[in-house]
Amino acid sequence: MDNTLLTLRNRRILLGVTGGIAAYKAAELTRRLQDQGAKIRIIMTRSATEFITPLTLQALSTNPVHLDLLNPDTESAMGHIELARWADLILIVPASANFLARLASGHSDDLLTTVCLAAECPVAVAPAMNQAMWAKPATQANQKLLVSRGVHLLGPDHGIQACGDTGAGRLLEIDRLILATSELFDSGELTGKTVMITAGPTREAIDPVRYISNHSSGKQGYALAQAALDAGARVILISGPTQLAAPDRAELVSVVSAQDMHDNVQSRLSETDIFVGVAAVADYRPKLAQNQKIKKNAANKRTLTLEFVENPDIIAEVADSVPKPFTVGFAAETENIEAYARKKLIEKKLDLIIANNVANAQIGFNSDLNETTILWQEGKVNMPTMSKRALSEKIVTIISQHIKQRI
Ligand SMILES: Cc1cc2nc3c(=O)[nH]c(=O)nc-3n(C[C@H](O)[C@H](O)[C@H](O)COP(=O)(O)O)c2cc1C
């Protein structure tokens, strides 16, 4: 597989299909994006269903196609806000002249425009229409307005059209669309940098069969590893036990205990420009890990007392090292989120801290979503609820901006 396209692996692409003669090409695009490892969900406008059936796209994407905004059944299954949050990218192929006009004027009168308006992720449009429609001042004004607001314009191409005309307005070839889509994920913001990320929980042994751990899934750390890779970084991922597959191209170091994690972090620190401690590291471990399994009712005792000792503070040691990598921490809190996070930022001499409320079961530990506040010495930014992948990209952008300010 072409290296560039690895950026599509595990990407959540919400494909919007609008009513144009090129709508049938959305079928091929769906299959080809999936071949690159992308996850596809599809919204069709009502007009699009006149050109290609939802059944075709449903069969190819292996997910129900979303059509309606005001349908209680579909809204309760996966509502418009959920769809908007799910997506790493909204890709409209083909984008009709009518859709460009509605998007430019901020309409939210069907599912696709509403999701575009509700989304925090990037939006890309691939227009396809008759050359005269594309050339019209109204369409030109609309596409320029959209681009000025950050919408990515893919195409259109120039050539012979379905109606027999020749000119600008053809949908980009599928190969070029796929390449352009993969490039949208490749920001190059961390090119030349080595990023070390710790992820997942640690396990602290009690005896050969038991341990103390926590609910960290590793999802946020792994998503961040992928985002850093996509931004051009070399990534060392030091991970506690998780159920996740490490992103391709990440150098995975599997560890179990906090001490293990600490030792591996220290041994690779001299290679590291940016350190991000996402792992939920146990603060304490049993003082003595028994060599043999502890027996029930040993010495007829009804209680069992374990003595704990403090684990090394991995991130504080990193932030104290000379030279110090740009150091980013996470603060998973259940109350006074921002105050605790700022205290941790200052006490541990971090450059950035990402605070989240793990008491909310909808977000945090095991969820695919996260809602955070990112804090640094002189400021902060609140991040609304979004996918851990989308959040990771924002974090990467903020890290790269801070690093540039330092130089
Ligand atoms: C046969 C036929 C082909 C069409 N092809 C296109 C097209 O390629 N591009 C376009 O912008 N509109 C095209 N239209 C017009 C759109 O279908 C129409 O503007 C529709 O309202 C678009 O709805 P939507 O933007 O909600 O999907 C075509 C219409 C017909 C009848």
DSSP string for 322-349: SSPPEEEEEEEESSSHHHHHHHHHHHTT
Closest approach atom of ligand 1 to CA 99: 25
Q: What is the pLDDT of residue 10?
A: 78
58 vs 30, 47, 178, 283, 323, CA distance in Å?
10, 17, 20, 48, 53
Backbone angles phi, psi at 212, to 5 degrees: -110, 135
251: pLDDT strictly greater than 60: yes
CA distances from 243 to 34, 42, 240, 246, 286 (A): 22, 28, 10, 10, 25
Residue type, 326: F
* Span from the CA of 111 to the centroid of ligand 1 (angstroms): 17
CB of 274 closer than 8 Å to CB of 196? yes
CA distance readout (Å), 66 to 62, 331, 369, 385: 12, 37, 21, 22
Average pLDDT of the residues in 294-304: 78
Ligand 1: residue of 15, 21, 99, 161 to mutate (most ligand atoms within 8 A of CB) is 21
For residue 363, pLDDT over 80 is answered with no
DSSP class of residue 238 equals E
Ligand 1 atom 25: residue of nearest CA: 99
Centroid of ligand 1 to alpha carbon of 85 (angstroms)? 28
Would you call 116 a catalytic residue per the annotation?
no
Q: How far is the CA of 98 from the centre of ligand 1 (A)?
A: 7
Closest residue by Cα to atom 28, ligand 1, is: 20
**Ligand 1, atom 17, residue with closest C-alpha:** 19
Least confident window among 250-254, 352-356, 364-368: 364-368
Residue 362: is its pLDDT beyond 90? Answer: no
Whether residue 1 has pLDDT greater than 60: no
Which amino acid residue places its CA nearest to atom 1 of ligand 1?
21
Residue nearest to atom 13 of ligand 1 (CA): 20
- Please name which of 231, 212, 214 lies closest in space to residue 404, comparing C-alpha atoms: 231
Residue whose CB lies within 8 A of the most ligand 1 atoms, among 17, 25, 45, 98, for a mutation test: 98
CA of 19 to the centre of ligand 1 (A): 5
Taking the whole predicted model, whether its pTM rises above 0.75 is answered as no
Residue 2 predicted with pLDDT over 80: no
* Ligand 1 residue neighbourhood (C-beta within 6 Å): 18-22, 45, 47-48, 96-99, 128-129, 133
pLDDT tens for each residue of 149-192: 999 999 999 998 888 889 999 999 999 999 999 989 877 899 89
Specify the pLDDT at position 198.
98
CA of 75 to the centre of ligand 1 (A): 26
Which atom of ligand 1 lies nearest, measured to the CA of 19? 27
Whether residue 341 is predicted with pLDDT greater than 60 in this model: the reply is yes
Smallest CA separation from ligand 1 atom 29, residue: 20
Of 167, 169, 12, residue with least CA distance to 94: 169
Which of 96, 111, 113 is the pocket-test mutation for ligand 1 (most atoms within 8 Å of CB)?
96
The alpha carbon of 20 and the centre of ligand 1 are apart by a number of angstroms equal to 4
Which pLDDT band holds residue 79 (cuts at 50, 70, 90)? Answer: confident
- Candidates 15, 42, 47: which one to mutate for ligand 1, based on the most atoms within 8 Å of Cβ? 47
Position 4 pLDDT exceeds 70? no
* pLDDT tens-digit series, residues 109-135: 999 999 999 998 899 999 999 999 999
Distance, CA 21 to ligand 1 centroid (Å)? 7
The residue-averaged pLDDT of 33-50 equals 96
Alpha-carbon distances of 242 from 29, 213, 238, rounded to whole Å = 33, 12, 11
Q: In angstroms, what is the span from residue 130 Cα to ligand 1's centroid?
A: 10
Catalytic residue among 132, 147, 163, 359: 163
Domains of the chain: 3-184 (3.40.50.1950), 194-406 (3.40.50.10300)
The pLDDT of 53-72, averaged and rounded, is 93
Return the pLDDT at 371.
84
pLDDT-wise least confident of 173-182, 198-207, 220-229, 377-386: 377-386
On whether the CB atoms of residues 243 and 217 are closer than 8 A, the answer is yes
pLDDT at position 249 is: 82
Q: Return the pLDDT at 308.
A: 97
pLDDT band (50, 70, 90) for residue 405 = confident
